Chains A and B, each alone.
Chain A
Amino acid sequence: AQSVTQLDSQVPVFEEAPVELRCNYSSSVSVYLFWYVQYPNQGLQLLLKYLSGSTLVESINGFEAEFNKSQTSFHLRKPSVHISDTAEYFCAVSLNFGNEKLTFGTGTRLTIIP
């Protein structure tokens, strides 16, 4: 069975500073990797995903994540955060193309300090 570890439950960051949210996974087979974001009082939204190809994937709002197979990681980064990035971020894995049965991490709450 696969599992996801997000070691940081809360990450406070000053506005315009860089941030990295860590995600490590465990699986005996190849996986597909996702980052979901949950803004206050909203449902989960897909931020970005790695299915195949380039190991560096980007979102439309400046986040990027790099799949590192040797370190079984999929860390999320942004070079300069904004107040609007305040949210909870969940890393997730799936064994099947098409997002069936996602296994989520426990989430990281990103708080931006003005």
Chain B
Amino acid sequence: DTGVSQDPRHKITKRGQNVTFRCDPISEHNRLYWYRQTLGQGPEFLTYFQNEAQLEKSRLLSDRFSAERPKGSFSTLEIQRTEQGDSAMYLCASSSRGQGDDGELFFGEGSRLTVL
């Protein structure tokens, strides 16, 4: 397994457009997390899934954001009507919580969004 992969790595879009990011976690991991990182800041928690269930959403996740993990494997994060303030690196991480592991988070390299 090559780790957590994210696609696309870079996305440039115009304000008002919709964008979608995909995350493929490590195959045996049951938990998947999304974080957002803006310039000069540490990553901020957005939401996480256990299998296909979305267990928690941060207040940072406005109504324009939606995340899914339909089959408990890959996940998508969609941003509708993008705004310049959405420009950030979107990080995905996975872990094997409750599966005999201590739940270490494994991060992907991120998807960088630039909204013009």
A contact residues vs B (CB 8 Å cutoff): 4, 6, 9, 36, 41-46, 49, 51, 90, 92, 97-107
Contacts and interface: CB of A to CB of B under 8 A. Distances in A.
Interface stretch (B10-18, B69-77, B80-88, B98-106): B98-106
A42 B48 contact: no
Of A43, A49, A97, most buried by chain B (CB within 10 Å of CB) is A43
B109 A104 contact: no
B107 A104 contact: no
B102 A97 contact: yes
Interface string B88-116: 00010101011000111101111000000
Main secondary structure of the interface of A (DSSP, over half): loop
A2 to B, nearest CB: 11
22 contacts: A43-B91, A44-B43, A44-B105, A51-B102, A90-B42, A97-B103, A98-B97, A98-B102, A98-B103, A99-B95, A99-B103, A99-B104, A99-B105, A100-B31, A100-B33, A101-B56, A102-B43, A103-B45, A104-B43, A104-B44, A106-B41, A107-B42
Of B3, B56, B107, B108, most buried by chain A (CB within 10 Å of CB) is B107
A42 B4 CA distance: 11
Interface residues on B, range: 20 to 34
A60 to B, nearest CB: 14
A43 B4 contact: yes
A31 B9 CA distance: 33
A92 B104 contact: no
Contact of A45 (B33, B48, B97, B107): B107
Given A90-B42, A99-B103, A41 B48 contact: no
